[in-house]
A and B are shown apart, each in its own frame.
Chain A
Amino acid sequence: MDFPLILNISMFLTLLILSSPILLPLLSKNYQNSPTTIMRTVKTSFMASLIPMILSIYSNMENTTFYWEWKFITNFKIPFSLKMDQYSLMFFPIALFVTWSILQFAVWYMASEPYTTKFSLFLLIFLIAMLILIIANNMFLLFIGWEGVGIMSFLLIGWWHGRAEANTAALQAVLYNRIGDIGLILCMAWLASSMNTWEIQQHSSTNQTPLLPLMGLILAATGKSAQFGLHPWLPAAMEGPTPVSALLHSSTMVVAGIFLLIRTHHMLCNNQIALTTCLCMGALSTLFAATCALTQNDIKKIIAFSTSSQLGLMMVTIGLNLPQLAFLHISTHAFFKAMLFLCSGSIIHSLNGEQDLRKMGGLQKLLPTTTSCLTIGNLALMGTPFLAGFYSKDLIIENLNMSYLNTWALLLTLIATSFTATYSLRMALLVQTNYTRIPSITPINENNPAITNPITRLALGSIMAGLLITSYIPPTKTPPMTMPLATKTTAIIITTLGIILALELSKLTHTLTTPKQNVALNFSNTLGYFNPLMHRLSSTKLLNNGQNIASHLIDLSWYKKMGPEGLATLQLKASKISTTLHTGLIKTYLGSFALSILTIILFTQN
């Protein structure tokens, strides 16, 4: 069994199947795409992608690289270098599985839309770009994938482009991603000039890499993965349709930043400043997002902030020098986050477009499958033992507790974990329990297999994925084996505390107390006042400065004060001063003559 050959071939098969909906219509007029055919393509591709994954696990293979140079002209060779290691081979099936489910769901969700084929095609192109990013071995291909997902994100968020908020959100996504791209291009430029290569395996990992490219990489991750500072685009991206939110902004695109840091981890691992930056920024992001999620009323926004919080957690893991654990969390997080989004999509469509939690309730009896999967997803998110989220999240918190790093980061992460439990429970309670607050006539219907099949499939994944992945992929760094009981059960205890807090708070809803203005609530609800401050303040300052420079500096000072008018004013002043000196009194004149003569004589005597 020639494993590398079969692995390569099956990988190419996967990619070929995936790109067939784009290529085949170019070849013959008869072949027309439709959402169902695209979904089936992705399903086939998923099946094909299982082969390389199983082969690599079975043969204990570390890494296979494929390299082809496109000799464009003599001196300009474009390198196509694909890296098939545990990360990319594991991510392929997961991404394809999730995308398959989402596309199946989108067949139902976007049924009443015009251009559903275009929608599915956009999702497909996005997926291809993401997979290019994952499988890239050099920064060139990675950058292509990076920009590709950025563009597709823009197109997909602004899908309903007649809506002004959707356009603003899409633009916001592009702008914030662009700021991150500066970091990526900085790193690429530094690599090209210092190491003369963009190939990831040629980057030296033993030396200390200087801080500049690492900061560039961290900036890129901040932009793409919505860390604190460049985060507002992620909640705003909820303007896009739910399948878009499920695919892009939960499972795949937003993890691209973290994935970049995983790929370039060999450069980061020796630089303590970069690691600490990752750690602290991740901790801050996770807590901030969790705080904001506590008081949101839109169901999709809560899930968006939960995504943001988990991304912060992934960044914390990178900061702990544990890339494999971060990847594990990416993999498990994809399942339950996509499922949460699909459940919310089902709820929204059933309630005829209602997204506000305060107008939902008692849906457990009305939408049994959806709400059960919602509960499973929330439990997985909270890190319930032996569901998918537990394997990654609990490990992260154990490692965090047992490391010699920042206590502040640890504290923030723990608080964020408890908040996760709180807002998840809040969402679950408000959606499913108590008397219903929905309007009387709603098109509640989940009998369509297009809804239930993807959701249950993803639920299966949320339960089993963690176990499966950790069983077959051994850790490259030894996890902490022994620790005190309290440390071992920290995650559980904190989660339980969060649940108890949520339950206590939910009792307030029974008592009909009038809500008061609360500083903390205002802070949390308005997302920390970040959006109005940054968006309005920076742009007004910049534009005002520009106007000042243009009109005051150039027009006023150069033309009026110093240039032509200034010269004229100066001459006028001199003229007036000299006129007043000519008094007409002869005595003064003769006196001035005498004084001048005296001065001249004195000065020229040497």
Chain B
Amino acid sequence: MNPQAKLISATSLFLGTSITISSNHWMMAWIGLEINTLAVLPLISKSHHPRAIEASTKYFLTQAAASTLLLFSSMTNAWFSGQWDITQLTHPMSCMLLTTAISIKLGLVPFHFWFPEVLQGSTMTTCLLLATVMKFPPITLFFLTSPSLNPTLLSLMAIASAALGGWMGLNQTQTRKVLAFSSIAHLGWMTIILIYNPNLTLTAFYLYTMTTSAIFFILNTTNTLKLSTMMTAWTKIPPLTTVFMLTLLSLAGLPPLTGFLPKWLIIQELTKQGLTIMATTITLLSLLGLFFYLRLAYCATITLPPNFINYTKQWQINKPTNILTTTLTTLSILLLPLSPMVFTVS
């Protein structure tokens, strides 16, 4: 891609995110979201592959619809309450529409259909952007409007996301789609605790971002787009696959890895609020995710041909790992003992 075009796109991406995060007025939020949408479109379609073009089209359509809904809800609220403040969203219809708009933006069930296909159509680094950076502004808007949202609707969508993310992820062989559904499931976890403790939503989001970024970087380094490719990924950089397995288990939420922290805190908060059935349900549904994470880990690490290990590694490395991968993987495996720090920072 043209370097200048890439520069403009990247800069616009950061600009849009910053505008939305720091906004007080609904107009500014909407502007930021629209800039984000438009900026990321060339990034998705940069390879000019038909699949990529299709992905970018789908992305545009859904995000545009979502932004419209967001604008509509803020206008309705302005009509009825006379102010455009994000935290003062009071009209019930507006809250509802906002919830749906943000759900479309995030990819919560039943508005998730676009997400796997968009991820499948883009390159690994763009996937990373879509899965982490593009989620940040909508999560922020959720955080800001959390007191006025409908708990039933959010809980329903959350549990459905966890369920569908689990069930769909079971049937995938493309790694990007697997990560898409894992993202949907984790969004379910983030959404379920939004009403009761929004800080936990942010904590969960940050830790999820960290772990997913690590995964995406590893997949980018070894260039594994399918499960079958993953079976020979260990030949490229053997230690990386070991770390990959641990990072996957952290994503699954296994103690004593980092990914356990958000799940643990969310379950605790839900139980404190008396929603034990919901806590049990969402925990059981995340077992489905554990299964396909284990399958990925199995394909990456446990399958070995009966050859001598020293003679089967590739003698040249195409894409060496960068420092970011290392940092992120280390953090995503070993951060649990520092959990009080995580809690106070977020």
Shortest CB-to-CB span from B107 to chain A, Å, is: 12
Residues on B with beta carbons closer than 8 Å to the beta carbon of A71: none
The CA of A596 and the CA of B113, in the complex, are separated in Å by 12
A593 at the binding interface (Cβ < 8 Å): yes
In the complex, the answer to whether A578 meets B164 with C-beta atoms within 8 Å is: yes
Partner of A571, one of B61, B111, B288: B288
Shortest CB-to-CB span from A330 to chain B, Å, is: 73
Residue of B nearest to A595 (CB): B110
Whether A575 touches B62, Cβ cut-off 8 Å, given contacts A584-B117, A600-B96, is no
The CA of A586 and the CA of B61, in the complex, are separated in Å by 9
The CA of A575 and the CA of B289, in the complex, are separated in Å by 12
Residues on A with beta carbons closer than 8 Å to the beta carbon of B57: 586
Interface string of A555-596 (1 = CB under 8 A from B): 000000000000000011011101100101010111011001
Residues on B with beta carbons closer than 8 Å to the beta carbon of A578: 164, 167-168, 171
Shortest CB-to-CB span from A322 to chain B, Å, is: 73
Residues on B with beta carbons closer than 8 Å to the beta carbon of A571: 167, 170, 288
- Which residues of B (241-292) have their CB < 8 Å from a CB of A? 288
Shortest CB-to-CB span from B249 to chain A, Å, is: 20
Whether A600 touches B58, Cβ cut-off 8 Å, given contacts A582-B116, A582-B168, A593-B65, is no
The CA of A571 and the CA of B93, in the complex, are separated in Å by 36
Whether A593 touches B62, Cβ cut-off 8 Å, given contacts A575-B167, A604-B153, is yes
A601 at the binding interface (Cβ < 8 Å): yes
Shortest CB-to-CB span from B93 to chain A, Å, is: 7
Residues on B with beta carbons closer than 8 Å to the beta carbon of A604: 92, 96, 150, 152-153
Residues on B with beta carbons closer than 8 Å to the beta carbon of A579: 168, 171
B114 at the binding interface (Cβ < 8 Å): yes
The CA of A593 and the CA of B61, in the complex, are separated in Å by 12
The CA of A487 and the CA of B279, in the complex, are separated in Å by 89
Number of interface residues of A (CB under 8 A): 20
In the complex, the answer to whether A576 meets B111 with C-beta atoms within 8 Å is: no
Whether A593 touches B117, Cβ cut-off 8 Å, given contacts A575-B168, A578-B168, A600-B96, is no
Interface string of B151-166 (1 = CB under 8 A from A): 0110000000000100
Mind listing 18 A-B residue pairs with CB under 8 Å? Answer: A571-B170, A575-B171, A578-B171, A582-B116, A586-B57, A586-B58, A586-B61, A586-B114, A588-B113, A589-B58, A589-B113, A592-B110, A593-B62, A596-B110, A597-B69, A600-B99, A601-B97, A604-B150
B104 at the binding interface (Cβ < 8 Å): yes
- Which residues of A (472-508) have their CB < 8 Å from a CB of B? none
Partner of A600, one of B61, B153, B167: B153
Whether A593 touches B111, Cβ cut-off 8 Å, given contacts A582-B168, A604-B150, is yes
B36 at the binding interface (Cβ < 8 Å): no
Residue of B nearest to A576 (CB): B171
Interface string of A145-169 (1 = CB under 8 A from B): 0000000000000000000000000
The CA of A592 and the CA of B62, in the complex, are separated in Å by 12
Shortest CB-to-CB span from B290 to chain A, Å, is: 12
In the complex, the answer to whether B96 meets A589 with C-beta atoms within 8 Å is: no
Give the 8 A-B CB pairs with smallest separation, nearest first. A589-B113, A575-B170, A575-B167, A596-B110, A575-B171, A574-B167, A579-B171, A578-B167
Q: Which residues of A contact B (CB under 8 A)?
A: 571-572, 574-576, 578-579, 582, 584, 586, 588-590, 592-593, 596-597, 600-601, 604
Partner of A597, one of B100, B113, B170, B288: B100
Given A575-B167, A597-B100, 18 more A-B residue pairs with CB atoms under 8 Å apart are A571-B167, A572-B170, A575-B168, A579-B168, A586-B61, A586-B114, A589-B58, A589-B113, A589-B114, A590-B61, A590-B65, A592-B113, A593-B111, A597-B69, A600-B100, A600-B153, A604-B92, A604-B152
Number of interface residues of B (CB under 8 A): 28
Residues on B with beta carbons closer than 8 Å to the beta carbon of A592: 110, 113
Residues on A with beta carbons closer than 8 Å to the beta carbon of B111: 593, 596
Residues on B with beta carbons closer than 8 Å to the beta carbon of A601: 93, 96-97
Partner of B100, one of A574, A576, A590, A596: A596
Shortest CB-to-CB span from A588 to chain B, Å, is: 8
Residues on A with beta carbons closer than 8 Å to the beta carbon of B168: 575, 578-579, 582
The CA of A574 and the CA of B62, in the complex, are separated in Å by 26
Residue of A nearest to B292 (CB): A575
The CA of A534 and the CA of B167, in the complex, are separated in Å by 56
Shortest CB-to-CB span from A392 to chain B, Å, is: 79
Residues on B with beta carbons closer than 8 Å to the beta carbon of A574: 167
Shortest CB-to-CB span from A564 to chain B, Å, is: 13
The CA of A586 and the CA of B116, in the complex, are separated in Å by 12
Residues on B with beta carbons closer than 8 Å to the beta carbon of A582: 113, 116, 168
Residues on A with beta carbons closer than 8 Å to the beta carbon of B92: 604
The CA of A589 and the CA of B118, in the complex, are separated in Å by 13
- Which residues of B (64-116) have their CB < 8 Å from a CB of A? 65, 69, 92-93, 96-97, 99-100, 104, 110-111, 113-114, 116
The CA of A589 and the CA of B66, in the complex, are separated in Å by 13
Residue of A nearest to B93 (CB): A601
The CA of A574 and the CA of B288, in the complex, are separated in Å by 11
Shortest CB-to-CB span from A577 to chain B, Å, is: 8
- Among B61, B97, B99, B167, the most chain A Cβ lie within 10 Å of the Cβ of B167
- Among B58, B104, B110, the most chain A Cβ lie within 10 Å of the Cβ of B110
Residue of B nearest to A583 (CB): B113
- Among A572, A586, A590, A593, the most chain B Cβ lie within 10 Å of the Cβ of A593
Residue of A nearest to B104 (CB): A593
Residues on A with beta carbons closer than 8 Å to the beta carbon of B61: 586, 590
Residue of A nearest to B170 (CB): A575
Residues on B with beta carbons closer than 8 Å to the beta carbon of A589: 58, 62, 113-114
In the complex, the answer to whether A590 meets B171 with C-beta atoms within 8 Å is: no
The CA of A579 and the CA of B166, in the complex, are separated in Å by 11
Residues on B with beta carbons closer than 8 Å to the beta carbon of A576: 171
Shortest CB-to-CB span from B169 to chain A, Å, is: 9
Shortest CB-to-CB span from B103 to chain A, Å, is: 9
Shortest CB-to-CB span from B111 to chain A, Å, is: 6
The CA of A74 and the CA of B173, in the complex, are separated in Å by 81
The CA of A449 and the CA of B58, in the complex, are separated in Å by 118
Residues on A with beta carbons closer than 8 Å to the beta carbon of B164: 578
Shortest CB-to-CB span from A351 to chain B, Å, is: 82
The CA of A593 and the CA of B100, in the complex, are separated in Å by 9
